[in-house]
Amino acid sequence: AVNLRPESRRFAIDIGGSLAKLLYVQREDEARQELGIKKLDETWPGAQLSVHIPEIGFILNFFAFETRNINDLVKFLRENWGSGISSKDVRATGGGAVKYAENFREELAVVLNHLDEMDCLVRGLNFLLTKAQREVYIFDHEPLLSAAMSEPASPSVFPDLENSRKFVDASDDPFPYLLVNIGSGVSIIKVTGFGEYERVSGSSLGGGTFWGLSRLLTNCKTFDEVIELTKSGNNSKVDMLVGDIYGGEYGKIAGLDASVIAASFGKVVMKKEAPDVYGWAGMWKQFVRAIKGSSYLWLNFLLSTPALGRFLRWMGYDKKTQEKLANLGLRSAFSANDVALSLLRMVAFNIGQIAYLNSKRYDVQRIYFGGNFIRDHPYTLAAISFAVRFWSNGETQALFLQHDGFLGVIGAFLGNDD
């Protein structure tokens, strides 16, 4: 049974490279506490998530904050619970539990009791697999799945997620299985029993890569904005497809359909540099680009005007701007939504493939995907499901979790004495 005494036991924290997760546990019969949700919504819309697990009689309230704003989490704790948790141990996992231990001690007088990250992930997942109903699901949306390789996004095939989840029942004996946890990076863990596991592989191309490159290549301010963009994207404008190389499918040898991605982002290579246009037409073109783009595009527009342009060139702004624009110019030839979808599929396909290869290597049939990279994003679910199905010739199906991003914090909450 889960013990909620002392009071600090109600909390657990998992601070990863990208996100800091908080769990606050209440008993079913307790009055629901109104937490500072409103303020939270400004930090990260939809950050709060609560789940009721009737099997254990508890309500688990989950919150997430961006780790770069770790003080928001500290403030959130202080404002909602104040002295209730002070000078007590709070169970915590993830690298940030070590890195930010001082912040918690100084600001809240809270001592973080650090638990091993992999232990917590596995313990959290084992708990959900054996105790929670309607937790594990298969993404079952054929139109999106069959469009997963490179077809343009079509809002009309956009799934109503509730009806696209096919739930799998909890089981007393879920072993062996692979956990592919997609956080900032990727960990692949083979689990053979309660507390019995081995981290067999991993990848540095994970959620952090997707989100990091998205920040570089698009103007998105939040992760959810990028995900929104992907929904109107067409990655075949950015990716080099088999059809782009062959002018059709490469059927004879490999059975590769024309729509298969040959090289993610390869179409950027195929693009010819646009010649710069001078005179009035050039000025107009630069003006339009400047409206759409950054301060360098504005500078370039001003450079294209006769008198001011001559002055700015004399001041040496020409060369600097041209250097910056060499990159920006190529960037502006691609739309952010296409780039976002291409990135998402690149990262998700790659992880799906590595996951499948490891399931073969260790002869494990069940593959669970966790981590906040997934959440409930249809394209991510479709791309991972598609990759696993494609590489396994339809033999293996990717398994997802309703609380994919909170495995570690659940494990930390349960502690070592479950």
**CA dihedral angle for residue 372, residue 373, residue 379, residue 384, rounded to 10 degrees:** -110
CB of 239 to ligand ADP, least distance (A): 20
Single out the residue of 190, 289, 345, 375 in contact with ligand ADP (rule: CB under 6 A): 375
CB of 155 to ligand ADP, least distance (A): 22
The tokens describing 186, both together, are: 């990727």
- The letter for the amino acid at 68 is R
Residue 378 interacts with ligand ADP (CB under 6 A)? no
Residue 385 interacts with ligand ADP (CB under 6 A)? no
Q: Alpha-carbon distance 350 to 203, whole Å?
A: 9
Give the footprint of ligand ADP on residues 222-261 (CB under 6 A): 223-224
Q: Which residues face 415 on adjacent strands?
A: none
Q: Alpha-carbon distance 87 to 4, whole Å?
A: 16
Nearest residue to 51 via CA among 41, 42, 60, 38? 60
CB of 94 to ligand ADP, least distance (A): 6
Contact 239, 263 (CB under 8 A): yes
The tokens describing 393, both together, are: 């010739």
Residue 124 interacts with ligand ADP (CB under 6 A)? no
Residue 214 interacts with ligand ADP (CB under 6 A)? no
Nearest residue to 114 via CA among 84, 90, 85? 90
Helix (H/G/I), strand (E/B), else coil: 34 = coil
Residue 411 interacts with ligand ADP (CB under 6 A)? no
Residue 65 interacts with ligand ADP (CB under 6 A)? no
Single out the residue of 174, 183, 293, 411 in contact with ligand ADP (rule: CB under 6 A): 183
Number of residues that bind ligand ADP (CB under 6 A): 20
- Compare residues 144 and 182 and give the one whose CB is closer to ligand ADP: 182
DSSP β-ladder status, 11-15 and 19-27: antiparallel
Residue 403 interacts with ligand ADP (CB under 6 A)? no
Residue 202 interacts with ligand ADP (CB under 6 A)? no
CA distances from 260 to 180, 290, 353 (A): 24, 35, 15
Residue 76 interacts with ligand ADP (CB under 6 A)? no
- Compare residues 81 and 406 and give the one whose CB is closer to ligand ADP: 406
- Compare residues 184 and 264 and give the one whose CB is closer to ligand ADP: 184
Residue with tokens 């996951």: 355
Residue 356 interacts with ligand ADP (CB under 6 A)? no
Nearest residue to 74 via CA among 53, 105, 42? 105
CB of 64 to ligand ADP, least distance (A): 7
- Compare residues 207 and 233 and give the one whose CB is closer to ligand ADP: 207
Q: Alpha-carbon distance 183 to 191, whole Å?
A: 18
Residue 405 interacts with ligand ADP (CB under 6 A)? yes
Q: Alpha-carbon distance 220 to 207, whole Å?
A: 15
CB of 96 to ligand ADP, least distance (A): 8
Single out the residue of 44, 177, 356, 369 in contact with ligand ADP (rule: CB under 6 A): 44
- Compare residues 243 and 352 and give the one whose CB is closer to ligand ADP: 352
Residue 406 interacts with ligand ADP (CB under 6 A)? no
Residue with tokens 């001082």: 102
Residue 147 interacts with ligand ADP (CB under 6 A)? no
10 Å CB burial of residue 345 (0-12, 13-18, 19+) is buried
Length of the chain: 418
Which residues lie near ligand ADP (CB under 6 A)?
A: 16-19, 44, 66, 94, 183-184, 207-208, 210-211, 223-224, 371-373, 375, 405
